[in-house]
Amino acid sequence: MRIKSLMMTILGVGLAGGAVMLAQDQMSRSQAQANTGIVRVVAVAEAIPFGTPIEGYKLTTIEWPAESVPAGVFTSFDQVLPQNGSEPRRAKRALTQGELLLASKVSDFGEKVTIVQTLGENNRAMAINVDAQTGVGGFVTPGDFVDIVLTRGKNDSLRAVTILQNIRVIGVDQTADEELDQPGIARTVTVEVSPEQGQRLALAQKAGQLSLSLRSLQIEEDKPLEAIRLSDIMLENSPVEDGAPKPVVKVRRGTSDIQEIPVSATNTQTN
């Protein structure tokens, strides 16, 4: 019995010593993190679409250097998740896995999230009626940038002009999710414009047909574009680039005199 009691005493002392060592290790790690300026901040563990509630299982915490923590970060779930049955926060834009959760990206508790939260300062949202042809075949999605082209007139007076360039699409029909990657034929496209651009767009919709031109990501600078008339593209001859070789006919005169005569539409008709 004495041996058994002795063994139990030794085992108890060992477990207690292990717990003390584990606690000391945790304290050492915490102190090391504090000494190196590391803090834990809230990040996105699972993609959160625009307008959806912020829920606990979609969040995680990660370590971040204290000296480079951006403004508006959250350092605990209690700052993000609702308490005592209150309404949740919502995503003010689509949030991707791994990014830091910032106050600017989420609403206040119970705040309604609409497309208004995606607009820049003093900008407006304005809708354009489109179809399969004018809406780039349905390949325009929220977050894309487009040029807007006005076509008006008829017969020989028909002309087209680019009225707005580099305009951000913020909604397609009733969808504002920038993560949308499935094209579809839209009836309405909502764009972000300044007050002046909104006035021009309103007039243009009354003046003729509007078409969207989907922009490349590599376009860096916009240049003014002149209006194009139907007469500018209705040419008598097919356009030939400058410097391109033109057909010629070699004519021998005598035994050694050889002349090259360019072939033109006039020469062909004459012959």
pLDDT tens digits for range 170-227: 888 766 656 555 556 678 888 999 999 999 999 999 989 888 888 887 766 777 777 8
Q: What is residue 43's predicted lDDT score, i.e. its pLDDT?
A: 93
Q: Are residues 100 and 146 in the same domain?
A: no
For the whole model, what pTM was predicted?
A: 0.55
DSSP symbols for 189-221: EEEEE-HHHHHHHHHHHHHSEEEEEEPPTT---
The CA-CA-CA angle for residues 194, 186, 96, to 5°, reads: 70
Q: In the block, which residue shows the tokens 């574009």?
A: 225
Chain CA centroid to CA 71, Å: 23
Which tokens belong to 259? 């002349």
Average pLDDT, the chain: 77
CATH number, domain containing residue 95 = 3.90.1210.10
Q: Are residues 51 and 133 in the same domain?
A: no
Q: Are residues 135 and 181 in the same domain?
A: yes
Q: What is residue 258's predicted lDDT score, i.e. its pLDDT?
A: 64
Q: What Rg do the C-alpha atoms of the chain give, in angstroms? A: 34
The 10s digit of each residue's pLDDT in 104-151 is 889 889 888 877 777 888 899 888 888 776 767 667 888 889 999 999
State the total domains in the chain.
2
Q: Are residues 228 and 162 in the same domain?
A: yes
Which tokens belong to 102? 């910032």
Chain CA centroid to CA 197, Å: 21
How far from 119 is each of 80, 102, 115, 122, 139, CA to CA, in Å?
A: 23, 18, 7, 8, 22
Q: Which of 11-20, 36-45, 91-100, 236-245 has the lowest mean pLDDT?
A: 11-20
